[in-house]
Structures are given as C-alpha cells and as structure tokens.
Amino acid sequence: MLAFAGTQAVGSGAAEAAGTAGTAVRGASAVSAGPACGAAVRAGSTTGFSLPFAGARRYEGATPVELTSAGQLNQPLGQPAADAIALRLGLRKADAFTPRQFAEFISGRGVGGDPKAAALVDASVRILTNTTGRPLYSLVNGVVTPTVLASYGLFVTKDGWLESPAYATAPTRLVNTVIAPGGYMGTWMRDNGATASLRMLYRSAYPVEAGFGFVAQQISGQAQLVTNTKGGVCTEVGMSMAPTLWATNFALLYTLNPALAADLPARWAPIPQVVADAILASPTGRVRYADYASALG
C-alpha cells in the first residue's frame, strides 16, 4: 500500500505501474534526483507530468491542474468538487466511514484502537490538508508561526524545517506502517464494521495509483520533488501534488471522511525557483523555513 505520501506498493497496482512506467524509469536508481527537465510527457497528457508521476491515464484528468491566479493558491477543493472526483476514482460517499467510525479511528478508540497509530494518521491528514483555513503551527526562530503551503506540495515541521510530505521522517511517510496491508488500518476496519469502506478503497483507483506512486518515489531522492514540464518551462512541486500521489491521498482521505478530502488543495503551484533549488541542493533534502519564508508568500 502507498501511504499518504509513502512508499509501500499495492500488489496489482505496482505491477501495472511498473509495466506502464518501465521505460520512463529504466536505469534510474533510488538515490537519483528525479526526472530531468524536459522528461517525456505521455502523448495526450496536458498536465506536464511524466511517468510515473502522472499515474494511470484514466485517472489523470481527475487530479489538480496548475493554478492560473494567485487567488487559487492553497484553496481547498470544496465538497461538491470532492464528491465529483470521488465518483471518477471509483469512490462512493455511502461506503466511507460513518461519523462514529471516523471519530473512533482518528482518536485511536474502537476495537483494537491504538492512540499512537491514530496520532500518526491525524498528523498526516493535517499536513495534506494544509490549505486556507487549516494552517500548521511551527516554531520558527523561536516564534510559533502559522503556515499554509499545500499547493506547493511542501509543509513546515513543528521545529521549522521546510520539506516534502514524502520526506523520510515526515508523518506522511512514517504512516506507511499504520496503513500497510495486514497492518493496523485494515485490521481496525475489519474489527469495527468498516469492511465496506475497505472493499471500496481497494476497488477504486487507489491500488493502481499507489503502485505508480511507489515507482515515483524510488527515483526521487531525498528531496522528493517532482519536475513538471509545460511549454518548454520546467518547474518543481512537492511529491504530494503529483497526480498519482494526490489521487492516492484523495482516495484514502475520502474513505476516512469525505469532508477531509474536500480540504485537499484544488490546484498545484510551482515552488519558487530559489526555494526548489535550495531544497534540491541541500544534502539533507530540506531547508529551514525561516530562510525562505519570504519567497513562499
């Protein structure tokens, strides 16, 4: 399974992704810097993302496009748009968690509940839905500072680091152990009457997109940024806004609570070049937010 921005592949989805994206990633290593500027974009695609980041062709059109105005930055989808996307990805609101199931799962209650695992899921949800009205709070130069950066595919850690949600130590990466097949999430769903939700998730776009996401992360190095190429212009965005990862995360959040999926970013935004260059040049794949806050608005 692919976590919110993680690395566990789902069986058949990984196989399809490997077969479809094989030529795009052949020869790449797990420590490479990611796709080069100008990497071939699939014929007919208008997103500017190459394989495997574009994901399955049949779902690519359901994912966010690049913003066209500053006012769209970090704006959430909203419920009507989320419900429409859910149908395109094979998700039904009626089969999502009930309000009670969600409340118990996210707090670590219910049969076999685990508060530590639930806290990791909750932290991941907050990072991915870091849109307008849902700031994260971090200690930046000794001051508690709110930040909203979801459209860039970046977030600020509690101790002030600016990084991709797919960064190795991010909650959105660590949550893999919680939602892996046979792990806590699936067991909790079976033990707490949410088998319909589990069945829906695995019959949706989720397994295929998770497979593409697994391949994508293996070629994206520490920084976990993705190159977009449109009109001969190359820009970078965090892994969580690549179509395949965004669709994977959407499916997970909609299954847990459709209202959470509605808070995902509706558009992606290129990371300002000075910030992207610094992250890619950093030996750790991340930088201090305080040094680049002004560039991010």
Q: What is the pLDDT of residues 4-17, one digit of tens each?
A: 444 344 555 555 55
Of 169, 205, 178, 234, nearest in space to 89 by CA: 205
Is pLDDT above 50 for 34?
no
Please give the pLDDT value at position 177: 85
For 219-276, how does the pLDDT look when each residue is reduced to its tens digit (9 = 90+)? 999 999 999 998 889 999 999 999 999 999 999 999 999 999 999 999 999 999 999 9
**163 membership: H or E segment, kind and range:** strand 161-163
Q: Which tokens hold the place of 101?
A: 């199931």
Which one is predicted more confidently, 35 or 121? 121
For 148-200, how does the pLDDT look when each residue is reduced to its tens digit (9 = 90+)? 999 999 999 999 999 999 999 999 999 988 988 788 999 999 999 999 999 99
For 120-129, how does the pLDDT look when each residue is reduced to its tens digit (9 = 90+)? 999 999 999 9
Separation between Cα atoms, residue 31 and residue 23, nearest integer Å: 18
Single-letter amino acid code for the residue at 39: A
- For the chain, give the percent of residues with pLDDT over 70: 85
134 neighbors 126 (Cβ within 8 angstroms): yes
If one counts every other C-beta atom within 10 angstroms of the C-beta of residue 133, the result is 10
Please give the pLDDT value at position 16: 58
Please give the pLDDT value at position 30: 30
Separation between Cα atoms, residue 29 and residue 38, nearest integer Å: 19
DSSP string covering 99-123, please?
HHHHHHHHHT-STT--HHHHHHHHH
pTM for this model (two decimals): 0.90
Please give the pLDDT value at position 39: 63
Is pLDDT above 50 for 26?
no
Is pLDDT above 70 for 35?
no
